[in-house]
Structure 1
Amino acid sequence: MRKLVILIACAAVFSACDDTPKKKYKPGSIGALNTVAVVMPNAMWEGAVGDKVREHFAAPLIGLTWDEPRFNLEHMPPSVFTGTTRHRRSVLYVSRDSVTGAQVQSDLYASPQMVGVVKGTSDSAIMAAIETHAGQIIDSIRTMEMEEAQERFRRSLSKETIFQDKFGVTLRLPSIYKVGKQEENFVWIDREIQKGSMNIIAYEMPGDSFDNDSTFVRDIVRMRDSIGKLYIPGPDVPGKVTYMGTEKAFAPSVFPAEVGGKPAAEVRGIWEIVNYPMAGPFLTYIINDPENNRKLVLEGFTFAPATNKRDYMFELEAILRTVRFGNSPADSAPAAK
């Protein structure tokens, strides 16, 4: 009997000393990519606060052929935000409170999930908080959505090694993409979509390219147009030469970026077929790779007439941002932000 008491006491001691945190189960999140559930009272959504949310979260994206919103917004009143509705992957929760502020919480009700919470003592205070913190919330949601898209690629990855063979890099490439063309310093892969195609091209430029900041944009256009003329022909038109160039009416937008752990320039603009009425959006990364004395150029572009192209371009960006240099496989690397 005494031995039994001692054993029970020892078990109680060891149980008390077990400080290993218990992992709480979170259901998988739901919702379409680039869609945000906006939780706020109906009157607020229909008024100035709702307008301020739309101003930031549904702002038109740069580099598309017509205006498309950054996110699709789906409004719901707080009374509806219960049960599985709380499992939405991207949420913006806006409400009146005794304090004013904003924060971003991850995996609050599901995983992966990003919940932006904005509170204020009045509508004007809430609007000021949205103005101040919208960028942080948008960046957090966008990073999560990019990682989610890249994770979905794992379901069916291509075994194609052409990027490794030609340029010494890997991409997390869905198997639906196929090699369409390859030259000594050029690779073109694509996939068919309902009304057109999604395309990725890659090539190298000398390491000392684009040294003049004052002509940077002009030099990018010249580079794209020369590559298009060499490798990307347009439809046959009697008496005319057709090829993919850069839309002359809209100068491309250029931003600093980091891709594959290396500094890069991100270029967004509109491509056109010279001497033929075809056009669409493109996204180009010019990546500095001093170890190989080169600049690696990766570009995604979409041809989808009379169709929204935001989600197509988002997929292409998600693919390009998985690039890894050397022997680090894109599939095992963390998703790029």
Structure 2
Amino acid sequence: MVRYLLSFICSVVLLTGCSSSSQKMIPAFSGSVGEVVVVVPNPDWNGRVGDALKAVYQEPQYGLPQQEPMFTVINVQKANFTSVFETFRNIVRVHIDPQMQGKANYEMKKNQWAKDQIVVELYAPDKDAMVTLLEENKSNLQEIFNLKEIDRLIKRNNKFGSQKEVETIEATLGVSMVLQKDVRIAKLDSNFMWLRIERERPKGGYMHQISQGILVYSYDYTDQEQFSDSNLFAVRDSLIGTHVIGTSEGAHMVTDYKYAPPLVREIDYRNHYAKEMRGLWRMTVDIMGGPMYSLVFLDEQNNKIILASGYVFAPEFDKLEFIRETEAMIKSITIPEA
């Protein structure tokens, strides 16, 4: 198991839009979830700079059963970067200028040409410096768009999602969440909740199953050792193994430690100490599996640990879209003030 300490400042987790009156005149962003427009000349895109850009934005997302890139990249020539592309949700612009003064750097701009848009500008005096800039800031550059996509999904769910279930959860479990539509409460009591979304989508002339679930468990905090990886795995495995049962006798959900050992990193989650985990789950006995995302954080106000674990089962489809939706619901969890 590899542990990563998040270096990117997570106060940027919920990247909020500008509220000035001038922003009211710009259009809504365009493009699909996870799409990134990269503005760079073809010779650079097909060379070392392009390889470095692809290593950042097309790196396979960890914790999926089949390889899927973090983002869908659309390469655009500078001359072709017109109003059609300016409103895209995520944009990267590459500037290589031999006359540039100072070191290579990057900056993030919000709402440049569209509401809730993020534009990343990369500056370097030459190709070598641009490649180094991308390599040294890879995680932060990925995080800018990853966190923004989560933020957009939370905003979407807040506008169109399930409200009745949110009120029931807060009154019973004592946490607040923003849920997407079609969520149903499978189980709920004062310290445990299981949310499920069951739906179908067409593919190849047939309808195919998509299942998403989130389990949330609240338990007493006694000492920091409870946040050791082994303790967190034990609690999560007990939780999913008890509640998520297969169709065959003795079948239940377990963490897949063999093919994709859980990737764990410490983060600051809304000013709470936290860890997040990515990996795979599988069913014992039954032939089923898929991606899993978990978040565990300390609720200092109530001296509790909140563990939320989400899973996806969608055997006929790519999984990134669905695990991102699940992560967004988990990352909407807040503790109401007493």
Q: TM-score, normalised by structure 2?
A: 0.82
Distance 1:81 1:320, change over 3 A: same
Question: After TM superposition, where is structure 1 displaced by more than 6 Å over at least 4 residues in a row?
Answer: none
Q: 1:35–1:73: 8 Å Cα contact kept in structure 2? A: yes
The one-character-per-residue Cα deviations of 1:290-324 (angstroms, maximum 9, x if unpaired) are 43232121111101114211111111111111112
Distance 1:305 1:102, change over 3 A: same
Distance 1:209 1:244, change over 3 A: farther
Equivalent-residue separation in structure 2 for 1:209 and 1:234 (angstroms): 34
Equivalent-residue separation in structure 2 for 1:276 and 1:48 (angstroms): 46
Q: CA RMSD in A?
A: 2.2
Distance 1:113 1:184, change over 3 A: closer
Structure 2 counterpart of 1:205, which letter? Y
Distance 1:49 1:278, change over 3 A: same
1:283 deviates by: 1.1
Structure 2 counterpart of 1:318, which letter? A
Q: Which runs of 5+ in 1 are unaligned?
A: 1-20, 329-337
1:46 deviates by: 1.3
Residue 301 of structure 2: SS of its match in structure 1? helix
Structure 2 counterpart of 1:106, which letter? K
Q: 2:169–2:188: 8 Å Cα contact kept in structure 1? A: no
Q: 2:274 aligns with which of 248, 264, 267?
A: 264
Q: Which has the higher contact order (CA 8 A, sep 6+)?
A: 2
1:183 deviates by: 5.2
Q: 1:111 aligns with which of 115, 134, 137?
A: 115
Q: 1:224–1:245: 8 Å Cα contact kept in structure 2? A: no
Aligned pair 1:326/2:336, yes or no? yes
Comparing 285-294 with 35-44, which one deviates more in the overlay? 285-294
Report what 1:85 is aligned to.
85
Q: 1:217–1:252: 8 Å Cα contact kept in structure 2? A: no
Aligned pair 1:248/2:257, yes or no? yes
Q: 2:172–2:188: 8 Å Cα contact kept in structure 1? A: no
Q: 1:218 aligns with which of 221, 230, 246?
A: 230
Q: 2:246–2:253: 8 Å Cα contact kept in structure 1? A: yes
Equivalent-residue separation in structure 1 for 2:190 and 2:155 (angstroms): 31
Q: Which runs of 5+ in 2 are unaligned?
A: 1-19, 201-208
Residue 291 of structure 1: SS of its match in structure 2? coil
Q: For 1:92-131, what aligned pairs fall within 5 Å after superposition?
A: 92-97=92-97, 98-99=99-100, 100-131=104-135
1:173 deviates by: 1.0
Q: For 1:172-211, what aligned pairs fall within 5 Å after superposition?
A: 172-182=178-188, 185-194=191-200, 195-208=209-222, 211=225
Structure showing greater radius of gyration is: 1
Residue 236 of structure 2: SS of its match in structure 1? helix
Report what 1:41 is aligned to.
41
Q: 2:173–2:189: 8 Å Cα contact kept in structure 1? A: no
Structure 1 counterpart of 2:71, which letter? F
Q: 2:298 aligns with which of 271, 288, 296?
A: 288
Residue 170 of structure 1: SS of its match in structure 2? coil
Structure 2 counterpart of 1:51, which letter? D
Q: 2:34–2:70: 8 Å Cα contact kept in structure 1? A: yes
Q: 2:245 aligns with which of 211, 233, 239?
A: 233
Q: 1:102–1:133: 8 Å Cα contact kept in structure 2? A: no
Structure 1 counterpart of 2:222, which letter? D
Report what 2:175 is aligned to.
169
Distance 1:209 1:22, change over 3 A: closer
